[in-house]
Structure 1
Amino acid sequence: MGQSGTESSTHRRLNVVSTVPLKTKHGERVKQVFPGVEIRTVQGLEEMGNDLAEIEVLITYGMDLDDRRVEQMKSLRWIQVFSAGVDRMPLAALDRRGVVVTNARGVHGPQMAEHALGIMLMHSRRLLEFARLQRERVWDRKLRVDELGGKVLGVLGTGAIAQDLATRSRAFGLTVWGHNRSGRAVDGFDRVFSGKDGLDELLGGADYLVVLVPFTAQTRGMIGEAELRRMKSTAFLINMARGGVVDEPALLRALTEGWIAGAALDVFEQEPLPSDHPFWGLENCLLTPHISGLSPYYNDRALEIFLKNLLVYLSGAGEWVNRVDSRKGY
């Protein structure tokens, strides 16, 4: 008997290019499942020259495309983004061309949850102050430390990362509130709010606020002066979404004038953050260079999503994993 359509499709030759720095083991993993598929890894699409028009499938972090380049890629049919955020993608141009875009939503949960929890523990136990005292060789037992148990964690967004964070946070005794567009209940959350009134209630009750919403026209400036003033003076804000979700000038005032106790920022409107930015000099603001989603297992997890989607692409059957809705922007 001959091969079925699905079986033969796994051997089809396919022009796949990756601007993500995949390792040899990743290429071997792909060939193990799809013998006819070989991924060409390049540092940038400019290396492709005239071959740009022949790319059928692109693997990218989502920062190397614009309308002009999409127009040049005549054979492009599907893009697998190895990140969750697609706010830098020319989604309208891709939609007009009928190019399918899928992302890596779900691969960031463990590391970003640990990042947020590490910051909350650091703040609660005042580890930065103790590190400073250590450098000054000062023994001071008067600093008041705290516990996470019994505190309220407010999370903006209830997607995969937020759910992972909620589950881990409840193990520390935190009560977890979430905010999403629908207000629907989500596993791991004690309460879920929606709308402006719901946001106001969450902000007023949260001891820690973690920002995890996608960056869209609707979420730009979601946390501004009014929202920051609604927070407790003892509250701590953690932004791991995108810099534009939080109004940075308003946050700077909140930190310098004591509207809130502190913040930890992993994302910024301008990256890298300019060396003269006032955030650098704040003692109540911890800065990290957009690394909360990094993990030694990141590309391994993202590749498994690619493989599932590759089967859908080659067979023409099944459901895409994490297909992006260009109208929503995520």
Structure 2
Amino acid sequence: MTLRCAVLDDYQDVALSMADWAALAPDVEVRSLQRHFTSEGEVAEAVGDCEILVAMRERTPFPESLFARLPRLKLLITSGMRNASIDLDAAARHGVTVCGTASGSEPPAELTWALILGLARHVVQEGSALRDGGPWQSTIGADLHGRRLALLGLGKIGAKVARVGQAFGMEVMAWSQNLTDERAAETGVVRAHSLGELLEAGDFVSVHLQLSERTRGLVGASELKRMRRTACLVNTSRAAIVDQAALVQALHDGWIAGAGADVFEQEPLPADHPLRTAPNFLGLPHLGYVTRRNYEGYFQGAVEDIAAYLEGRPLRVLSARPAPPPR
């Protein structure tokens, strides 16, 4: 029996060129889908014939209701080893094995600095003016050297961002609910004793926390008002950590100097979303993990996961109860 596999949300149409999918033939027939489906009905209609699906990060959610619409599905692979949009308990109840792939922390750390530097030196505004025949120099850039970088979270990505900040000559401060003096000391970072202390001290505040019930809505209107009016906020982690309506108000009312984000609560971002036109906002379409090396790791890992699953020894299992292969 030939199994059907679909790669979802392959926006750049590169998935099939990033790995040796032919190694799965003739057992598996693979296709990629570039269009983002906005409803569960669209997803079910497009891939309801598939026993295997490959999901790109959290672009397509997999709640209980969608698993119920996909009775043929047996193996779901996500890029990376964590996907908050997949209900793992529901997957187990529906007999679906969920596996992950390797994921690098360098790309999102690098993109964080693209946003910080873009905001600090008004790169988009000045670059657009140069291309469009606008004024020659219309802004004054913000210095990094001697300023304070404030990090919400000091995990793998946060620590990489901290090292770059130190290389720029910035003082780096960090805070999270779990951050210890020992962890801060080993990375050469000053530990803030509260979120408020961190926000009040930072010239550039960057979010690097995991989304959880403790961090959802952690930065709201009252927290944004505690930031310096000359400070910028950057979020390359999860959109829901920062209250989006409060962020829009902060930009319009000048509570902060600017903000950059690579993550949004609804993706793709709706055309009429207020962040698209908010002043001093630098937004990117969730590019943090979108690099060639990361994509090769994702899709090569997906091929490995499928081959191992068919052999009865699934790799990098995330679901509660791995299901047997459909043979």
Shift of 1:41: 2.5
TM-score with structure 2 length normalisation?
Answer: 0.74
Shift of 1:228: 0.8
Task: State the partner residue of 2:67.
Answer: 70
Residues 157 and 99 of structure 1: CA distance in aligned 2, closer, same or farther (over 3 Å): farther
Are positions 1:41 and 2:31 aligned together? yes
Mapped partners of 1:280, 1:74: distance in 2: 39
Mapped partners of 1:178, 1:310: distance in 2: 40
Residues 76 and 204 of structure 1: CA distance in aligned 2, closer, same or farther (over 3 Å): same
Which of 1 and 2 has higher RCO (CA within 8 Å, sep 6+)?
2
Residues 247 and 72 of structure 1: CA distance in aligned 2, closer, same or farther (over 3 Å): closer
Q: For structure 1, list consecutive stretches of 5 or more residues without a partner in the other structure.
A: 1-12
Are positions 1:19 and 2:7 aligned together? yes
Are positions 1:59 and 2:58 aligned together? no
Residues 137 and 40 of structure 1: CA distance in aligned 2, closer, same or farther (over 3 Å): closer
> Does the 8 Å CA contact 2:176/2:195 hold for their aligned counterparts?
no
Residues 95 and 317 of structure 1: CA distance in aligned 2, closer, same or farther (over 3 Å): closer
> Does the 8 Å CA contact 1:210/1:237 hold for their aligned counterparts?
yes
- Aligned equivalent of 1:190, options 177, 188, 191: 188
For residues 158-237 of structure 1, what are the structure 2 equivalents within 5 Å? 158-184=154-180, 185=183, 189-191=187-189, 197-237=193-233
Residues 45 and 299 of structure 1: CA distance in aligned 2, closer, same or farther (over 3 Å): farther
Residues 272 and 312 of structure 1: CA distance in aligned 2, closer, same or farther (over 3 Å): closer
Are positions 1:145 and 2:177 aligned together? no
Shift of 1:262: 0.6
Shift of 1:224: 0.1
> Does the 8 Å CA contact 2:44/2:69 hold for their aligned counterparts?
no
Mapped partners of 1:24, 1:182: distance in 2: 41
What is the aligned residue count? 302
> Does the 8 Å CA contact 1:156/1:211 hold for their aligned counterparts?
yes
Mapped partners of 2:314, 2:190: distance in 1: 32
Q: For structure 2, list consecutive stretches of 5 or more residues without a partner in the other structure.
A: 34-42, 322-327
**1:23 counterpart SS class:** helix
Mapped partners of 2:102, 2:218: distance in 1: 21
Task: State the partner residue of 1:254.
Answer: 250
Task: State the partner residue of 1:241.
Answer: 237
CA deviations over 1:156-200 (Å, ceiling 9, x no partner): 233433333333333323333333442141697433758xx5322
For residues 268-307 of structure 1, what are the structure 2 equivalents within 5 Å? 268-306=264-302
Mapped partners of 1:41, 1:192: distance in 2: 49
Moved more, 76-85 or 295-304: 76-85
Task: State the partner residue of 1:8.
Answer: none
Are positions 1:91 and 2:81 aligned together? no
- % same residue: 26
Shift of 1:229: 1.5
Task: State the partner residue of 1:4.
Answer: none
TM-score with structure 1 length normalisation?
Answer: 0.73
